[in-house]
Amino acid sequence: MTRDTPARSTFILTLDCPNRPGIVAGISTRLFELGANIADAQQYDDTGQDRFFMRVVFDIAAADGLAGRLEAEIGALAAQFAMRWTLSDTARPARVLLLVSKFDHCLVDLLYRWRIGELAIAPVGIVSNHPRTLHADVDFHGIPFHHLPVTPQTRAAQEEEIWQLVQSTGTELVVLARYMQILSDGLARKLAGRCINIHHSFLPGFKGARPYHQAFERGVKLIGATAHYVTGDLDEGPIIEQDVERISHADTPEDLIRKGRDIERRVLARAVRIHVERRALPNGRKTVVFGH
């Protein structure tokens, strides 16, 4: 951009609504009238649910109060179509709270991708139910670390501390980076649609604890990892991303855990990117994930 070119902002609009004619025309016309340029548009018509999904990336002349005006204009149109919608300024990274337990390979991987600018996130805190000494060799780059130990007796109080942290830091996304505590229904509801977990199996196989040991006993030939939104039903939340790798009869549970670490890391990183780029739209028990 030269000195004379006026600054432009880029926004991502996502929407879903009952399907009917005129949705795309309505959105594109309204954006045109606002002086926006549509750079990318993807849509999906779920004929089974009679529901329409769309993701639009557009740029527009930067101006004070622009986001507020866009929200008012799009909100008026959304009301006509009974849309659920989100509008994000791509210049503002998502504020992310990272939760971890003993195993920090996914956490370290996310911090690396953030540090090199690959992931557009703003880590606001790291929470572990284990002490900082367990991760003594990990540089958290000044991100506040919160040791919040938990027992069955203290779970409610510990979750309240997490919730207070979410609110006080303006957290927009909570990532369970191998956080091995089951969130209560209450906290899962408060974080609906903005809490991602990495489960170390190819769901729906091997839910719950120790999935690699379950897989070893079953004699599988593929292991995998699944990133999903967290709900009150353990490991049942809408799936965002998955991947697998081949294993053999000669692999021990420790081999599966070792091979699984790389799958977990890349699946979680992809899911966080999909979420912060607003490519995942909830669709009942499933998700619509637009291309990238």
Ligand X SMILES: Nc1nc2c(c(=O)[nH]1)N[C@@H](CN(C=O)c1ccc(C(=O)N[C@@H](CCC(=O)O)C(=O)O)cc1)CN2
Q: Which stretch binds ligand X (CB under 6 A): 60-68, 109-117, 215-223, 232-240?
A: 232-240
Q: Is residue 91 part of the contact set for ligand X (CB under 6 A)? A: no
Q: Stretches 22-30, 230-238, 261-269, 277-285: which one binds ligand X (CB under 6 A)?
A: 230-238
CB closer to ligand X out of 230 and 239 = 230
Question: Least Å distance between CB 259 and ligand X?
Answer: 17
User: Long-range contacts made by residues 32-39, C-beta under 8 angstroms, separation at least 24?
Assistant: 34/60, 34/69, 34/70, 34/73, 35/60, 35/61, 36/11, 36/60, 39/10
Q: Does the protein bind ligand X through residue 197 (CB under 6 A)? A: yes
User: Is-catalytic flag, 104?
Assistant: no
Q: Which of residues 234-273 bind ligand X (CB under 6 A)?
A: 234-235, 237
Residue 185: closest CA among 236, 232, 234: 232
What single-letter amino acid sits at 27?
Answer: I
Contacts (CB under 6 A) with ligand X, residues 100-139? none
Residue type, 273: R
The active-site residue, picked from 16, 104, 109, 235, is: 235
State the CB neighbour count (10 A cutoff) for residue 267.
24
SS3 87: strand
How far apart, in whole angstroms, are the C-alpha atoms of residue 150 and residue 170?
A: 23
Angle (CA) 128-130-135 rounded to 5° is: 85
CB nearer to ligand X: give 35 or 208: 208
156 near ligand X, judged by CB under 6 A: no
The reply to whether 232 sits near ligand X by the rule CB under 6 A is yes
Query: Would you tell me which residues interact with ligand X (CB under 6 A)?
Result: 176, 179-183, 188, 197, 199, 208-209, 230-232, 234-235, 237
